[in-house]
Amino acid sequence: MGGTCRSVLEPGCGSGRYLEAFARHGLEVVGIDSSAHMIDVAKRRLTEVSLAGEVVLGDMTDFALGRRFDGAVCAIATLEHLAPAELEQHLVCMARHLADDARYMIQLALYDPGWQDVPASSWVESRGDLTLRIDWTTEEIDFDAGRARQHSRPEILSGPRRGEIVEEDHEMTAWTPESWNGALAESPFSLAAVYDGSDDPPRKVGPGVTGGLMWSELTLTKA
């Protein structure tokens, strides 16, 4: 988000993992989440490592913080939980909270209808004596309806609940590059760049590239 970025907003902040990472780099952080439990987790996370940050209970499609931020991030496919109409409301709300030169970084899957094998994700997270392995797969896609059924499987690898597994299905919006770019064209934002997050570091790619970990860099559209 550039060297001039001093404040970051994260809608759908969940447990606060990204808030902590940004705060460790000296940025002012504010997170929003609709889950009171996750708000408590995120607040405790920042407090335990003596980092400053604000975490607010709210709906990412309708919130008012009374200020603007230098940048924003929404990761882990959070926006795939929103239907297209909800995404439109979210982007309008975000535009009211970002400075004119701000960047909004969004990570989500961009599907290719021609895929034979849909990309899956698997990663390990540790905090204290707790280690999780999370497997995330796409089980079914309806491109006509723009919907995908995804399956998450967190397994506890260490700690008092070692061996416990939680499995859930999630109905998500399935975006293709065409539908995503169309949604952005109707929003207050323009697509500045696309990055493939499956590379380390993420690699800048063309706007039509598909993958399970794509990052869109958005800028506010100039009047």
Residues 40 and 98 in one domain: yes
pLDDT computed for residue 126 by the predictor: 87
Report pTM: 0.91
Q: What is the CATH number of the domain that holds 143?
A: 2.20.130
Q: What is the CATH number of the domain that holds 213?
A: 3.40.50.150
Residues 125 and 41 in one domain: no
Residues 83 and 135 in one domain: no
Mind listing the pLDDT tens digit for each residue in 84-131?
999 999 999 999 999 999 999 999 999 999 887 787 888 898 888 889
Residues 164 and 182 in one domain: no
Q: Which domain holds residue 165?
A: 121-173
Element spanning 74, H or E: strand 69-74
Residue 82 CA neighbour count, 13 Å, CB half = 22
First CA to last CA distance, the chain: 22
Mind listing the pLDDT tens digit for each residue in 1-59?
656 899 999 999 999 999 999 999 999 999 999 999 999 999 999 999 999 999 999 99
Residues 18 and 102 in one domain: yes
Distance of CA 70 to the CA centre of its chain: 17
Residues 59 and 86 in one domain: yes
